[in-house]
Amino acid sequence: MAALCNARPPEIWPTYTAPDCNIALLPPGYTHDSFEEAGALWKEEGLGKADPRLMLKPGDLTYMSTTSRVFSDWAPPEVSTSQKHEKQPLDRQSVERLLKPVVLSYLRSVEELSAESDAEQCSLSELLIRVRCSEEFPTDVRSHSALDQKRLIKANQKHAQQQASIVGHLEKRGLLDSKYAFIEFGSGKGELSVYVHAAAVAANPDTAPDSHVYLVDRKVFRQKFKADQQDNGVQKTQDHRDSSQQLERINIDIRDFDLASLEGLRATDPLTGNPVLRPIIAYSKHLCGGATDLTLKCLERYQQAGGHIAGVAIALCCHHACRYSMYVDHEYLSTAVASHSTESSQWSHDQRSDFRHLASMTGWAINLSPPVSPGSALEKDSEPAHYSGLSYAQRVCAGHAVKRFLDIGRVRFVRRQLGMDDAELVYYTLRTTSPENLALFATDLKD
């Protein structure tokens, strides 16, 4: 926080900054309402409008206005009690009303039910028996030699296995090519990108200087990953020493990121002399909740500007952090979550409320490992009553179904909006390695 308190906004914003350009659905009044009128809603949706222009006083920090929206994770000014959105607990009937259509949609998407079946007559408990946690999509755990040294050194293999599998999937799909620009969204310290760059250099030793990697994150990390440190598990090779010259950090919230305006992605067609955008590979290992949706919208804007997305590899996680305003496909959402709005492009307070409840239920899915089936011997006979009326194992299955429902909507968006017809969901690592073990992969290779 100390670093943020000393921050000052730049006099001129970078050319790739376009405020809120990747938000799928802005709340009504967002452009003109004041913080006092809608601050609570903005905060809940991750759209807080805190002002970074701080006037420092002895022992005090004071906001100078309520119109800027740079640091969205800061709390807004106090909102009157009458304006606060109180969370109302759900009763069992409301839980079934919310969950049943979502579970039905999920089961039909993974072909557990036919569209003509009489599943609507089944109870929620009967439907949950059909949920197959971590089994409904293919499992393909891969590896790559770029991480062999790290896997030998590290005692905790979790991150090494995840990173190795992502790099392995990029290799499998022919995406480790220096003709592409690599964009890591939610990059953190940048460790994954170091390995992606090393793998790309190894695959294309003659054209390695053309490979460039951009690390996108809204936070500034003081302890950036250093590829030449032995205790990080990376062998000190020429490939790794050169990587720092080709890794560029972009400190920006993805919601404001206009990728097509990034100078490094602009090029000139050698045949026509016309300006073009470089083809890109987008990837991430930890893109929490709504950040995944913001990234997909960012890619859509890049494509609309004339850019080509050759590949996508995003590990999906933290669905409890999904936000209604950011979710990429409200038309799909409306097929299972009721909305009083006739247009999927219109904000619905009721649908948003239901979405928030569903997002919170996704946390149930990671409470138990290995997954169990409702009614199995692993069920807890003495567990206390839960507000949902569901048993422990039933909640695990319900949470899993909601997570996969949201992910299926993302695949639908990639196929329909990005035109990447081979988009798929794959369990890229074992559940014993991480309960968040699903990834979205898509390719669109052009000559």
**DSSP state string for 297-321:** HHHHHHHHTT--EEEEEEEEE-GGG
Given this model, what pLDDT does residue 61 score?
39
Given this model, what pLDDT does residue 10 score?
59
Given this model, what pLDDT does residue 413 score?
97
* CA pair distance 378, 133, nearest whole angstrom: 15
Given this model, what pLDDT does residue 116 score?
58
Assigned token pair, 181 = 């620009």
Walking along the chain (447 residues) 10 residues at a time, the average pLDDT comes out as 46 85 90 76 77 36 40 45 54 92 93 71 90 92 86 75 94 93 93 91 74 87 53 42 69 93 89 89 93 97 96 96 95 85 79 94 77 54 74 93 97 96 96 92 87
CB count within 10 Å of CB 346 equals: 13
Residue whose tokens read 């138990």? 368
Supply the pTM of this predicted model.
0.84
Given this model, what pLDDT does residue 407 score?
97
Q: Are 277 and 308 in contact (CB under 8 A)?
A: yes
* CA pair distance 439, 427, nearest whole angstrom: 6
Run of H or E including 249: strand 247-251
Cα-Cα-Cα-Cα dihedral of 233, 239, 240, 246, to 10°? -150
Given this model, what pLDDT does residue 271 score?
83
Q: Which long-range contacts (CB under 8 A, 24 or more apart) does 300-307 make?
A: 300/417, 300/418, 301/21, 301/22, 301/258, 301/259, 301/260, 302/259, 302/260, 302/277, 303/418, 303/419, 305/260, 305/277, 306/260, 306/276, 306/277, 307/259, 307/260, 307/265, 307/277, 307/278, 307/279, 307/280
